[in-house]
Amino acid sequence: MAELTYHPAHPPIAVRSVEARIIGLDATWLRTRWKILGAGRLVVPPFAGRGRADGLWQTTCFEMFLRADEGAGYVELNLSPSERWNVYDFTGRREGMAERPMPREPDCTMRIGTDMAIFDAAIPVTGLPKAPWRYGLAAVIEEQGGHKSYWARAHMSDAPDFHDPACFVDEVAAPSDT
C-alpha cells in the first residue's frame, strides 16, 4: 500500500492515515483499494445506487488519475461509497474535460469498522486507456462537522490539486495475457 499524505492546509481531525494501491489488473478489471485508519468520524455518502454523478469530491470520494504516455492528456476517475462514479478525459492539466465513455459501470464497495474503513473499486479495463500508465491515487475525506482533508502521494501547491503532474508518481505495466 502507498501511504497518502494530507494537504498541510487541510489536516484531518481523527483520521490517522490513508493508504491506497492497485490490488489487481487483468484483461477485464483494474482493482484498487483505499484503507483509512481513524475512521470513527468518517462521513460516508448514503447509498445512491450505481450511476454517473458529478461533484462526488464534495464529500468522501476516492480518486485515481492515470496517464497512458508522456503526453499532456490523462483520465480522472471519481468513485464514491454511494456507488456513484464518473470518469473524465482531460486534454491537459485541468483542460478539455469531457466524460469518458464506459462500456460497463465500476463496482464499488465500502466496509467500515469502528476504526478502519476499506474502499474497493473494480473498474472495467475496456473503458480505460491501454496500459502501461503513470498514475496517482487520492482521496477526499470528510469527517463529521463538514471537515475535509485531501490525501495524495504528493502536494506541490498551497491548495490541494490532485491534477498536478507531481501526483502521477506510480507506474503500472500492461496486464499479462496469462
Residue 177 lies in a domain: no
Q: Where is pLDDT greater, at 70 or 137? A: 137
Cell of 97: 474535460
Instruction: Indicate whether 103 belongs to any domain.
Output: yes
Tell me which residue of 79, 25, 64 sits closest to 170, measured CA to CA. 64
In-domain check, residue 178: no
The reply to whether 46 falls in a domain is yes
Q: Could you tell me the pLDDT band of residue 175, with boundaries at 50, 70 and 90?
A: confident
**Does a structural domain hold residue 47?**
yes
Query: Within a domain: residue 42?
Result: yes
- Report the pLDDT value the prediction gives residue 68, as an integer from 0 to 100: 86
pLDDT value of position 41: 96
Q: How confident is the model at residue 149 (pLDDT cuts 50, 70, 90)?
A: very high
Taking the alpha carbons at both ends of the chain, their separation in whole angstroms is 24
**Cis peptide bond upstream of 106, omega within 30:** no
Task: Report d(CA 86, CA 108) in Å as an integer.
Answer: 12
78, containing H or E segment: strand 74-79
Identify the CA nearest to 133 among candidates 60, 30, 2.
Answer: 30
Given a cut of 60, whether residue 119 has pLDDT beyond it is yes
Q: Is the pLDDT of residue 122 over 70?
A: yes
DSSP of 111-161, one letter per residue? EE-SSEEEEEEEEEGGGSPPSPEEEEEEEEEEETTTEEEEEES---SSS--
Q: How confident is the model over 109-120, as a mean pLDDT?
A: 96
pLDDT surpassing 80 at residue 70: no
pLDDT at site 176: 67
Average pLDDT, the chain: 94
The structural domain count of the chain equals 1
Check residue 131 and give its pLDDT. Answer: 85
| Residue 158 maps to a domain | yes
* Domain residue limits at 59: 2-172
- 42 pLDDT tier (thresholds 50, 70, 90): very high
Name the percent of the chain lying above pLDDT 90. 87
Burial of 4 (0-12, 13-18, 19+ CB in 10 A): buried
Average pLDDT rounded to a whole number, residues 134-155: 96
pLDDT tens, residue by residue, 46-62: 999 999 999 999 999 99
Q: Report if residue 11 sits inside a domain.
A: yes
**pTM: predicted TM-score of the whole model, two decimal places:** 0.94
- Read off the C-alpha cell for 135: 498514475
Q: What CATH number does the domain containing 47 carry?
A: 2.60.40.1190
Cell of 61: 470520494
C-alpha dihedral over 167, 171, 175, 176, to 10 degrees? 180
Grid cell digits, residue 11: 489536516
* pLDDT at site 138: 97
